[in-house]
Structure 1
Amino acid sequence: MILKYRYLLGGLAVWATLSTASILYFSFTNLRYDVVSGDDESPSRVLYAAHLPAARKRLNKSNYNYSYSNNLSPDVDQLTEKDMFVNPVHVNVNRNPKTKKTVMKNGMFQPNYTDMNVDMFLRTLSKQDKAVLRVNNSREHYPSYLKQIREKPEKRNSPRLPSYKKYTGSTHWETFHKGIRQDSLYDPDDPVIEALLKDISLLPITDVEQKEGGTQLKLIITFEDDGQTLFKPMRFSRDTETLPNHFYFSDYERHHAEIAAFHLDRILGFYRIPPTTGRTVNMTSELKQTANHKLQKTFFISPVNNLCFTGSCSYYCDSGHAICGNPDMLEGSFAAFLPPTKMASRKTWRNPWKRSYSKHRKAYWEVYDDLCEKVRNRPPYNSGRRLLDLMDLAVFDFLQGNLDRHHYETFVDFGNDTFLLHLDNGRGFGKQTHDELSCLAPVTQCCLVRKSTFLKLVKFYLGPDSLSSLMRRSMVADPASPVLTELHMDALDRRVVKILSVLADCVHKGKSISKVIVDDKI
């Protein structure tokens, strides 16, 4: 009898176990179905919603939260509950602009990016004040549009450097130096700029020495007409990206980034970077034989019979990071020297949005978002053009992905009412698919942009000429062409949309259009 009841109890236990397993199985199946289907009355939504506060807490731990449009990087609080359930495992808080259509350019398909938030913003602007958004002719090509923006009488008559008023030098280098004005380094219509670029790429080299200071190797190249350039050698291929575990301050410099930055600066109508071009040199006859004794001693032959040299610097100047030719041919960037300090001294300014350059701490602006209010109230940012120039610099650095902007320079003779020199861009174009939104921190925190810069970005967005197509056209004749990969070109168009979306979000938050888009006649 006892044995009979024992068998009966065992059967009940087995039945209970199987029933529980079935219930759990169907519950799990319904849970998966309900989350994906978005059934509002599903118990699974209540179950998943219980985890939302924890998710918000984790995402809000970031020291510097951006509040962009829905197609960029919204804070988790900006996401609706429905958005959170579209994909319960991965909540995308850094969505890219959508691809509107694909068009054929130069035999290659190129994406045209669009953003609904930007479209609505531009429509609102055109309705409220047509004078703000002066981009009426969608068929007008960018070069002619840019010419209309920059052709202002006051620019043509801006002062030159005092030391060059009676200077009689006539080489292309000296003519370039004499042409520096208070508003720009050069006039883009001046034929001497193209002549200078040709000289840099062809003239014989007579002397080579290493530039002192800096973290990486750079050479001062002197040509037969006594003109000088700063040479940055090629270290790796165009598609080699910044290593994920590298801090920005320990990243390599890229010669092609310097070349691309010059063309980008020129397309944007800034004219704040000295003429820069690529060139391939013979390391034996053009570098080693013309180098000084100190630099010559660092040349050696590698195990595969390539000529290499290391130079002397604080980083990357050893045999493990040598510059090597193939076997002795080496490509690099050559940037024209600015006037010597005795003719035109320059002042170095600390960038308020400078990064910490530390592995263990962040800069103030990365933790708090009120730096702009502090900057606005102190000289030289509380009057004149300087604050808007910083916004231009932030836009420029974001487009090229350059995090290494700790200082900037101006010409002393022009005082504070002058442009910023956009020098040292070797750490740009390091990532092809990642957009470093922290480069836009000045624009984001100040909700500010120069009107002329804004109009150029809008023109890139509306077409018919995208920024990438203009860059291709500009760089095709460079001796180092192709300068950038197609992924880098694509990133330029994507980043244009993101800048406009940041500005659209500023206006959406209630900022006055006239306070966000400021016309200082520059």
Structure 2
Amino acid sequence: MIGRRCAFFALSILLILVLSVNVYFIRMIVETSSTSRRIYSRNLPEPKSGQDSFTSSRSNEKDLQDRSQLRSITKDISEKIKEEVRTLPSKYFKQNTSYTLVLERLLAELRIMPNVREDIWNIPNNNWPDAHQLIPPAAPELGTILEVLRRSKVVRADNAPLGTQLKLMLNLENDIKALFKPQWYSRDAIIHGPVYHGKDRHNAEVAAFYLSSLLALRRVPLTVIRKLDLVEEVRDLATPALYATMYQEGNDTCLYGVCHYCSLTDPVCGSGGVLEGALIFWLPRYLRLIKHRHPWQRTYKKNKLAAWEVDEAYCDKVMDSKTYSPQSSSRLLDLIDTAIFDFLMDNGDRHHYELAQNNFHNPAVLLIDNGKSLGNPDVDHLDILAPLYQCCIIHKTTWDRLRLFSGGSLSIALGRLAAHEAEIADVLPLITEAHLSAMDRRLLIIYAVVESCLKKKKYVSNVILDHR
């Protein structure tokens, strides 16, 4: 009896030992497998989009596993910039009267010629565009062409084939196409929240067109204010797809179109059948626009920062690419021009950019789609300037032109051009004084960033580059 008990006890001990060993080895196998998966996932190659590998989706860089807890470096930089503004030399606060020469020349270009050439569209289609601009430095026919764009007869109306918001594609007489962005907001509406919030502001498209001429960055397509008769110029000429989204609400004609965010519950309505909007000349096909992802693209996620927001050496990595090396092309400098332009306009939604690939050597970055500008005149989104303050380089031509508009000259000049457009189009003033003043204030910040870069790099030639 005692022998059987001892044998049973020994067998139980042996069974426990066997089970313990099995559990141990199973645990080791599971942990090893899990570790292997973690190591493998860290070493997976990052997805690339064509030649633009410096995107906001580089989540593996520096093992930033929880970016929501990281403090954006832009917050530190903003304090330095504010201090630099307080110590700016007095020359930046004094009005440079030379701006009047630029303004008067532009106003002269906007004069409307009495007799319009039959082939006038041949000028912006074939004569004007080149590798660096859509409109040449001297364009005496500009005012006449803009007036023809305002008055040309609509022959067909359709939903625009691209974008997330309501836009119309209009076919005009003489085989011309134009994009129509409707008015959603009053001029003094303030868009709160992130810089990219809200719908497109149609008046911002027109302001961007005139600002580009002032800054000698004539890379914005021809843009005018136009009032459409929604019955005669749209509904009666609409494609079936567009027509199906139109209806009457009392005396007003409404439409909601076809797009990603378009909805019957969110229509736009004309006042008495007339709808104001921005009419943007559709560029000729031969230019072959190619879209590229912007290296300083936002994540558009509240708790996720982009690589450029947390990496102080981000620009060095961008310049390591042949695509953005200043020695190879002017593309990075063009993107810095774009950042300056967008900062003045308060446009923080430049997630892509376009180049005209028509056998052009070193084509300039075009300034297309500026509707998310003029959001909040009381806020300066300094991170829009990240390409400038991180790379600390700028085109000499851009810097020279910016200095022309010191001491409040920028708001005066842009205000004059906008007033001209409003008078010709018979609409309310296009830009509020608050937005104009904000541009003067932001220009001081741009001066401060460049001054800071000059101190940092010591030599002017390291910052102000003559690459065009």
Above 0.5 in TM-score? yes
Give the one of 66, 73, 91 matched to 1:64: 73
Cα distance change of structure 1 residues 141 and 216 upon mapping to structure 2, 3 Å threshold:
closer
State the superposition RMSD in angstroms.
2.6
Under a length normalisation based on structure 1, what TM-score does the superposition of the two structures give? 0.68
CA apart distance, 1:346: 2.1
Bigger mean CA offset, 174-183 vs 493-502: 174-183
Q: Secondary structure at the match of 2:237?
A: coil
Partner amino acid for 1:355?
R
> Residues 243 and 233 (structure 1 numbering): CA distance in 2 closer, same or farther, change over 3 Å?
same
- Equivalent of residue 178 in structure 1, options 126, 130, 144: 126
1:225 offset after TM fit, Å? 1.8
- Does residue 256 (structure 1) correspond to residue 203 (structure 2)? The answer is yes
> Structure 2 matches for 1:484-495, cutoff 5 A?
484-495=431-442
Counterpart residue number, 2:52: none
Q: 2: CA distance between counterparts of 1:117 and 1:508?
A: 13
Residue number among 244, 261, 271 corresponding to 1:297 in the alignment: 244
Residue from 97, 101, 111 that aligns with 1:143: 101
Deviation at 1:122, TM superposition (A): 7.2
Report how far residue 406 of structure 1 moved: 1.0
d(CA) in 1 for partners of 2:389, 2:275: 41
Q: CA deviation at 1:503?
A: 1.2
Partners of 2:154 and 2:170 within 8 A in 1: yes
Deviations 1:341-386 (A, max 9, x none): xx23122211111111233312111122211001112122111211
Q: CA deviation at 1:94?
A: 5.9
Distance in 2 of aligned mates of 1:481 and 1:384: 42
Say if 1:121 and 1:504, in contact at 8 Å, map to a contact too.
no
Q: Is the 8 A contact 2:394 2:463 kept in 1?
A: yes
Q: 1:74: which partner in 2?
A: 79
Judge conservation of contact 2:195–2:346 (CA < 8 Å) in 1. no
Q: Equivalents in 2 of 1:324, 1:145: separation in Å?
A: 36
**Aligned CA distance change for structure 1 residues 416 and 238 (closer, same or farther; 3 Å):** same
Cα distance per residue 1:463-508 (max 9 Å; x no partner): xx70011101112221145111110011111111000011112223
SS of the residue corresponding to residue 331 of structure 1 reads strand
Q: Does 1:497 align with 2:444?
A: yes
AA aligned to 1:309 is L
Distance 1:229 1:355, change over 3 A: same
Cα distance in 2 between the residues matched to 1:188 and 1:482: 26
Structure 1 runs of 4+ aligned residues shifted over 4 Å read 120-123, 144-147, 247-250
Q: State yes or no: 1:119 paired with 2:65.
A: no
Which residue identity does 1:502 align to in structure 2? V
- The offset of 1:454, in angstroms, is 1.1
Question: Which residue does 1:449 correspond to in 2?
Answer: 394
Paired residues in the alignment total 382
Classify 1:415/1:360 alpha carbon distance in 2 versus 1 (closer, same or farther; 3 Å).
farther
**AA paired with 2:203?**
H
Q: CA deviation at 1:251?
A: 2.2
Letter in 2 for 1:299: M
The 1:450/1:296 distance shift into structure 2, 3 A limit, reads same
Aligned to 2:320: 377
- Letter of the structure 2 residue corresponding to residue 178 of structure 1: N
Q: Residues 142 and 459 of structure 1 are in contact (CA less than 8 Å); yes or no, is this contact kept in structure 2? A: no
Matched, 1:193 2:138: no
2: CA distance between counterparts of 1:121 and 1:477? Answer: 30
Match of 2:234 among 262, 287, 312: 287
Question: Of residues 262, 267, 270 in structure 1, which corresponds to 2:217?
Answer: 270
**Alignment-derived partner of residue 425 in structure 1:** 370
What is the percentage of aligned positions where both structures have the same residue?
32
Distance in 2 separating the partners of 1:515 and 1:401: 28
Letter in structure 2 aligned against 1:506: C
Question: Could you tell me which residue of structure 2 aligns to residue 468 of structure 1?
Answer: 411
Partner SS for 2:265: helix
Code of the aligned partner of 1:143: L
CA shift for structure 1 position 408: 0.9
Q: Does the residue aligned with 2:350 lie in a helix, a strand or coil?
A: coil
8 Å CA contact 1:146, 1:456 repeated in 2: no
Structure 1 residue 509 corresponds to structure 2 residue 467? no
CA gap of 1:377–1:145, structure 2 versus 1, over 3 A, is farther
| Corresponding residue for residue 257 of structure 2 | 311
**1:202-213 pair list within 5 angstroms:** 202-213=151-162
User: How far apart are residue 67 of structure 1 and its match?
Assistant: 5.3
TM-score when normalising by structure 2: 0.76
In the alignment, structure 1 segments of 5+ residues that lack a partner are 1-59, 76-92, 98-114, 124-134, 148-168
Question: How far apart are 1:512 and its partner, in Å?
Answer: 2.7
> Aligned partners of 2:226 and 2:303: how far apart in 1?
40
In 2, distance between residues paired with 1:231 and 1:390?
Answer: 26
Contact 1:355 1:406 in 2 (8 A): yes
Question: 1:280 is matched by which residue type in structure 2?
Answer: K
Q: Return the offset for 1:415.
A: 4.3
